[in-house]
Each structure stands twice: as C-alpha cells, then as structure tokens.
C-alpha cells in the first residue's frame, strides 16, 4: 500500500460524493488534506467524522466556488 505521509493534497468538492471519498482515502494514507467546497457544513462533518475514526490527520477547509474567477487570481 502506498503512503501519503508528509504529502499535502488539495481536493475540490471534498464535502460530498467522489471528493469526500478521495479525501477519506487520502486521510487513511496519511495525507494533509486541503478540502475545498461551497458546503461549509460538509467540510466540518468531514473533520468531525475523521476524529471519530482515530486517524491522525490535518484538514484545512476553504469554502468557495472554484467557478468564480475572483477566487483564482
């Protein structure tokens, strides 16, 4: 199995669906997650649920819409 320890991963759409599944797997592999989504409560739930699983992780959440160009400048 690969390790993502000491790696940083940026995931858009991390609050639900495929983005959340990718975030969960990266956390299990030891990555630091930078979770981006328009759904702030979803990012907070991602953090809360992983604390219950006793994983060692860091999640930094950013709430914005990547389709809005002002965030990308």
The domain tally of the chain equals 1
CB 15 within 8 Å of CB 33: no
Is residue 43 situated within a structural domain?
yes
The predicted-structure confidence for 60-71, as pLDDT tens digits, reads as follows 666 766 676 665
Phi first, then psi: what are they for 61, rounded to 5°? Answer: -100, 140
β-strand 8-12 against 59-63: which pairing, if any? unpaired
Is residue 3 situated within a structural domain?
no
Check residues 6 and 73 and name the one with the higher pLDDT.
Answer: 6
The predicted-structure confidence for 16-29, as pLDDT tens digits, reads as follows 999 999 999 998 89
Is residue 27 situated within a structural domain?
yes
Is residue 1 situated within a structural domain?
no
The domain containing residue 44 runs over which residues? 8-72
Of 19, 27, 14, 20, the closest CA to residue 57 belongs to 27
Is residue 23 situated within a structural domain?
yes
Residues 6+ apart with CB under 8 A from 49: none
pLDDT range class, residue 3, cuts 50, 70, 90: very high
pLDDT range class, residue 46, cuts 50, 70, 90: confident
């Amino acid at each position: 199995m690969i390790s993502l320890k000491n790696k940083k991963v940026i995931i858009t759409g991390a609050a639900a669906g495929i983005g959340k599944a990718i975030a969960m797997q990266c956390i299990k592999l030891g990555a630091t997650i930078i979770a981006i989504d328009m759904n702030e409560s979803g990012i907070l739930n991602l953090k809360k649920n992983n604390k219950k699983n006793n994983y060692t992780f860091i999640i930094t959440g950013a709430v914005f819409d990547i389709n809005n160009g002002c965030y990308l400048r």
